[in-house]
Amino acid sequence: MAHPFADILAEARLAGRALVEFGQGLFEPTIRLGVTGLSRSGKTVFITALVHGLTRGGRFPVLEASARGRIARARLAPQPDDAVPRFDYEGHVRVLTTERRWPQSTDRISELRLLIDYQSQRGASRTLTLDIVDYPGEWLNDLPLLAKSYQQWSAESLALSAQAQRTEIAAPWRAYVASLDPLAGEDEQVALKAAGLFTDYLKACRNERYAMSLLPPGRFLMPGDLAGSPALTFAPLIYQDEGVPPAGSLAAMMRRRYESYKDVVVRPFFEDHFARLDRQIILVDALAALNAGPDAVRDLESALASVLECFRVGRKTFASTLFRPRVDRIVFAATKADQLHHSSHERLEAILARMLERAAARASTAGVGIDVVALAAVRATREARVRRGREELPCIIGVPAAGEVVGGEVFDGTSEAAMFPGDLPEDPSAVLGAASTFRGLATGSPQDADFRFLRLRPPKLDQLDGRAVLPHIRLDRALQFLIGDQMR
């Protein structure tokens, strides 16, 4: 470890807080639920739908306490952390339900406390405190950096940028790095240019056409108030020597800033947020990767391995068992499943499960329960079978978002359409692995792609006993695994 003393202090602080939180949880159950996923994966919609459903007594047949009528009510309460922004639940619900628009993108951590009054199986009245923490998946992807030297990270980033589709996107940055002498004198302008080109490459990987997932350091894509600071002005160099680079050199400058990034950004996130979570849901937009093509799917698979690695790295970084991250259940959820006919939901689950199996083979997940579910936090479609020639296709009906184009038709965001997004294969290996050859947006035009998932407008509300609730798909299954056992 780079800072043994700092780590001891951090452990002591975490221990103090863990004791206080433990004391509070003795009488009534408390769960800190982390909700994460890469940007646009569906975090804000998921939390909004979850809170809306629970506070309005929505339909959750698979959530046992709800199905048996043991939940009396759920209500919002002031959150425990004064320094963390509150999740703007009311604002997001208003936009979703009255304007039928999706909420704005959010790029920082936020928190919300929900109290659920329920009756235990033995009949006692209890309250489950659910603290929901929404944080960008990009921050999670940063955790493995804690265990990596600057040199290791440089070598890995360069190797990654040489893979398949990345080479082309990374060309301008790679050409610049190749021209640099790591032992030349430190130079702010060089650091700025290298960091700028490196960030451009990461951003290009992220767009809809490529939909790449594995892109640390996370703050390069979401700098927040650290934008322009030295802790964000560094980039990999071609420098293999594991020792400390000579003082005053470019390599020494980059290495120092990389270490600052870990101290200023990664470590505080680990201690203040990650290490305190009890349960975790990781939202994955697997359909976006399928839309983009085989490279994006392979990239997503590596990102999942790196996510699993985070839970392991956490355990390794803090040596004593008491203060390790305490996450004991993780749900991986393929979101926006309403973009598929239900006949493909299980196939989507099978694809995600297969990716995770392969990822888990690389990173041990001992001691953590994992569940995989395909869900739609907010269901924006209905289903129908549409005849095309002799064939009957399983279609979905919804309102494509303004600007979406299909077969030359541009949608205005008000008219309904029946869509056939493509059938997912029965055997997941057809879209996974080095040999998969299905066609995506990254290599051809949208008409040639095997799958086409459109952005849709949020639905009209369902009526349930005179109350309006948001329709969903399998949100209750995720909830049963994440909190059901605490409401026995």
Interface contacts to ligand GTP, rule CB under 6 A: 37, 39-45, 102-103, 105-106, 136, 335-336, 338-339, 376-378, 380, 455-456
Interface with Mg ion in residues 70-89 (CB under 5 A)? none
Query: Please, which residue, 216 or 236, has the CB nearer to ligand GTP?
Result: 216
Q: Name the minimum Å distance from CB 215 to ligand GTP.
A: 13
The tally of CA atoms less than 13 A away on the side-chain side of residue 338 is 23
Query: Please, which residue, 252 or 352, has the CB nearer to ligand GTP?
Result: 352
Q: Name the minimum Å distance from CB 106 to Mg ion.
A: 4
Strand stretches in 279-364, DSSP E? 279-284, 329-334
What is the 8-class DSSP label of residue 184? S
The yes or no reply on residue 149 touching Mg ion (CB under 5 A) is: no
Query: Please, which residue, 106 or 260, has the CB nearer to Mg ion?
Result: 106
CA distance linking residue 165 with residue 296, whole number of Å: 9
Residue 37 interacts with which of ligand GTP, Mg ion, none, CB < 5 to 8 Å by class: ligand GTP
CA distance linking residue 130 with residue 114, whole number of Å: 5
CA distance linking residue 178 with residue 182, whole number of Å: 10
Q: In degrees rounded to 5, what are phi and psi of residue 55?
A: -75, -20
| 335 to 234, 281, 345, 423, 473: CA distances (angstroms) | 34, 11, 11, 17, 10
Residue among 30, 41, 44, 129 that touches Mg ion (CB under 5 A): 44
332, 34 Cβ separation under 8 angstroms = no
Pull the structure tokens for residue 234: 């560094």
Residue 33 interacts with which of Mg ion, ligand GTP, none, CB < 5 to 8 Å by class: none
Which window, 42-50, 77-85, 333-341, 459-467, contacts Mg ion (CB under 5 A)? 42-50
Residue 380 interacts with which of Mg ion, ligand GTP, none, CB < 5 to 8 Å by class: ligand GTP
Query: Please, which residue, 39 or 229, has the CB nearer to Mg ion?
Result: 39
Query: Please, which residue, 161 or 339, has the CB nearer to ligand GTP?
Result: 339
CA distance linking residue 265 with residue 259, whole number of Å: 10
Q: Name the minimum Å distance from CB 53 to ligand GTP.
A: 12
Q: Which of 288, 411, 307, 292 is nearest to 40 (CA)?
A: 288
CA distance linking residue 44 with residue 101, whole number of Å: 13
Query: Please, which residue, 40 or 174, has the CB nearer to Mg ion?
Result: 40
Which window, 40-48, 109-117, 173-181, 223-231, contacts Mg ion (CB under 5 A)? 40-48
Which window, 102-110, 169-177, 357-365, 475-483, contacts Mg ion (CB under 5 A)? 102-110
Q: What share of the chain is helix, strand, coil (3-state, %, to 5)?
A: 45, 20, 40
The yes or no reply on residue 335 touching Mg ion (CB under 5 A) is: no
Residue 129 interacts with which of Mg ion, ligand GTP, none, CB < 5 to 8 Å by class: none
Residue 52: how many CB atoms within 10 A of its CB?
22
Q: Name the minimum Å distance from CB 95 to Mg ion.
A: 12
The string of DSSP codes covering 250-282 is: HHHHHHHHHHHHIIIIIHHHHHHTGGG-SEEEE
Q: Name the minimum Å distance from CB 70 to ligand GTP.
A: 27
Query: Please, which residue, 131 or 285, has the CB nearer to ligand GTP?
Result: 285
Pull the structure tokens for residue 211: 């939909």
Q: Which of 249, 26, 3 is nearest to 126 (CA)?
A: 26
Q: Name the minimum Å distance from CB 291 to ligand GTP.
A: 13
Q: Name the minimum Å distance from CB 388 to ligand GTP.
A: 23
Q: Name the minimum Å distance from CB 379 to ligand GTP.
A: 7
Query: Please, which residue, 190 or 283, has the CB nearer to ligand GTP?
Result: 283
361, 312 Cβ separation under 8 angstroms = no
Residue 102 interacts with which of Mg ion, ligand GTP, none, CB < 5 to 8 Å by class: ligand GTP
Residue 131: how many CB atoms within 10 A of its CB?
21
Q: Name the minimum Å distance from CB 451 to Mg ion.
A: 24
Q: Name the minimum Å distance from CB 311 to Mg ion.
A: 22
Residue among 106, 119, 365, 443 that touches Mg ion (CB under 5 A): 106
The string of DSSP codes covering 83-130 is: TSPBP-HHHHHHHHHTS--PPPP--S-EEEEEEEEEE-TTS-EEEEEE
Q: In degrees rounded to 5, what are phi and psi of residue 131?
A: -95, 120
For Mg ion (CB under 5 A), the number of binding residues is: 3
Which window, 38-46, 62-70, 75-83, 367-375, contacts Mg ion (CB under 5 A)? 38-46
Residue 52 interacts with which of Mg ion, ligand GTP, none, CB < 5 to 8 Å by class: none
Q: Name the minimum Å distance from CB 412 to ligand GTP.
A: 16
Give the residues lining the site for Mg ion (CB under 5 A): 43-44, 106
